[in-house]
Amino acid sequence: AKQEERGTIRFFEAAMDHQIREKRMLQRDLVVAIENRQFELYYQPQAAADGTIVAFEVLLRWRHPERNIISPAVFIPLAEETGLISAIDEWVVREACREAATWANKLSIAINLSPVDFRRGDVPRMLADVLAETRLEPERVEIEITEGVLIDDFAGAIAILRDIKALGVRVAMDDFGTGYSSLSYLQAFPFDKIKIDQTFVMKLETNPQSAAIVHAIIGLGRSLKLPVIAEGVETMAQQAFLASEGCAELQGFLIGRPYPIAHYRNIVTKGAGG
Ligand code: C2E
Ligand code: CA
Ligand code: CA
Ligand code: CA
């Protein structure tokens, strides 16, 4: 048994070493990813209750030279650890604003920013510069942040968020319901929207607790006069439930998957209201 135990430990150590090496390698490769043009933006539609597409969320993809596409769920945390995320997010903001500025129908874009951006960089200045440079209307930009932004330096983060709103850019609270203090944060800052996390939406049909939580969040939004968007909507049953609860907007594979903007070209080039 001792022998076997040692074998198991060696196996885990080898697996650990492999993971650490793998992580270091990706972190090294990330350093040149921007200049080597390995990042691509995907766009996922957000629809109003009647199905009309009103905005696109911008989702980053990394086309690694040796590995095909790597998910942001994998590389964003690695970029956050090294601080490289600030340069990456600035690249995303610039590219997405440039793209959206060309859209005939003037739909909005929702851009994810990392909590690390708020600690390391001057986010309001960066946004102001990009808006000036691309001439995109600030009202067409929404920043999605998680409550992680408010965790280490609460007052500092609130001040930065105020400066962002002063530019005319909207701020949405992402992944709502998954953190610890979401409710008090809603009181501390005038968010423009709350986004129900997909973990609740996906279990709507199978888990009564999830349905109750979604019901409560939509009710909270109504009381606070905050539009609520649900993400991860995959089935018509989920859509029907959310519609009956009065959820303002929907996002998910049922409405449309994230794709390069070429896939949605006919939507963004149509005239307003089309
Ligand atoms: P998120 O902001 O919560 O984005 C939603 C994620 O759910 C996206 O994953 C999206 O592709 C996926 N999704 C949307 N609808 C559905 C659905 O119906 N079913 C399922 N199963 N999944 C759905 P993705 O693109 O892999 O992004 C993962 C996370 O990476 C994002 O979570 C966000 O936190 C982060 N991220 C993505 N792009 C950026 C970026 O440019 N900057 C930063 N800082 N973070 C980003
Ligand atoms: Ca998001
Ligand atoms: Ca989410
Ligand atoms: Ca997230």
Burial group, residue 20, by CB count within 10 angstroms (0-12, 13-18, 19+): exposed
Instruction: Tally the residues of the chain.
Output: 274
Average pLDDT over residues 92-102: 98
Residue 225: half-sphere exposure toward Cβ, Cα within 13 Å: 1
pLDDT digits (tens, 9 = 90+) for 196-232: 999 999 999 999 999 999 999 999 999 999 999 999 9
Please give the single-letter amino acid code of residue 204. Answer: L
List of residues 6+ apart from 97 with CB closer than 8 A: 109, 130, 131, 134, 136, 141
Q: Which residues surround ligand 3, an ion (CB under 5 A)?
A: 175, 197
- pTM score: 0.94
What's residue 41's pLDDT?
98
φ, ψ for residue 32, nearest 5 deg: -105, 5
CA 13 – ligand 2 centroid, Å: 35
What's residue 195's pLDDT?
97
CA 2 – ligand 1 centroid, Å: 44
Average pLDDT over residues 12-16: 76
CA 6 – ligand 1 centroid, Å: 40
Average pLDDT over residues 67-89: 96
> Comparing C-alpha atoms, which of 116, 80, 131, 108 is closest to residue 193?
108
Q: What is the Cα–Cα distance from 216 to 177, expressed in whole angstroms?
A: 10
- Which of the four pLDDT bands, split at 50, 70 and 90, describes residue 274? very low
- Which of the four pLDDT bands, split at 50, 70 and 90, describes residue 17? confident
Torsion angle of the four alpha carbons 50, 105, 54, 133, in this order, in degrees rounded to the nearest 10: -170
- Which of the four pLDDT bands, split at 50, 70 and 90, describes residue 6? confident
Q: Which of 38, 41, 59 has most ligand 1 atoms within 8 Å of CB, for mutation? A: 59
Measuring from atom 8 of ligand 1, which residue has the nearest CA?
A: 59
CA 173 – ligand 3 centroid, Å: 10
Average pLDDT over residues 148-163: 92
Average pLDDT over residues 125-140: 98
pLDDT digits (tens, 9 = 90+) for 235-249: 999 999 999 999 999
Quickly count helices (H) and strands (E) in the chain.
11, 9
What's the chain's average pLDDT?
Answer: 93
- Which of the four pLDDT bands, split at 50, 70 and 90, describes residue 87? very high
Please check the confidence at residue 116 and state whether its pLDDT lies above 50.
yes
Q: What is the Cα–Cα distance from 15 to 56, expressed in whole angstroms?
A: 39
What's residue 181's pLDDT?
72
Would the CA dihedral through 267, 272, 273, 274 be positive or negative? negative
Decide if 186 contacts 194 (C-beta within 8 A): yes
List of residues 6+ apart from 123 with CB closer than 8 A: 113, 117, 160, 163, 164
Decide if 92 contacts 41 (C-beta within 8 A): yes
**Which of these ranges, 42-51, 94-103, 153-162, 180-189, has the smallest mean pLDDT?**
180-189
CA 85 – ligand 3 centroid, Å: 18
What's residue 218's pLDDT?
97
pLDDT digits (tens, 9 = 90+) for 175-204: 998 887 778 889 889 999 999 999 999 999
> Which atom of ligand 1 is closest in space to residue 117's alpha carbon?
44
Secondary element (H or E) of residue 28: helix 2-31
> Comparing C-alpha atoms, which of 127, 130, 114 is closest to residue 162?
127
Q: Which of 89, 112, 201 has most ligand 1 atoms within 8 Å of CB, for mutation? A: 112
Please give the single-letter amino acid code of residue 77. Answer: P
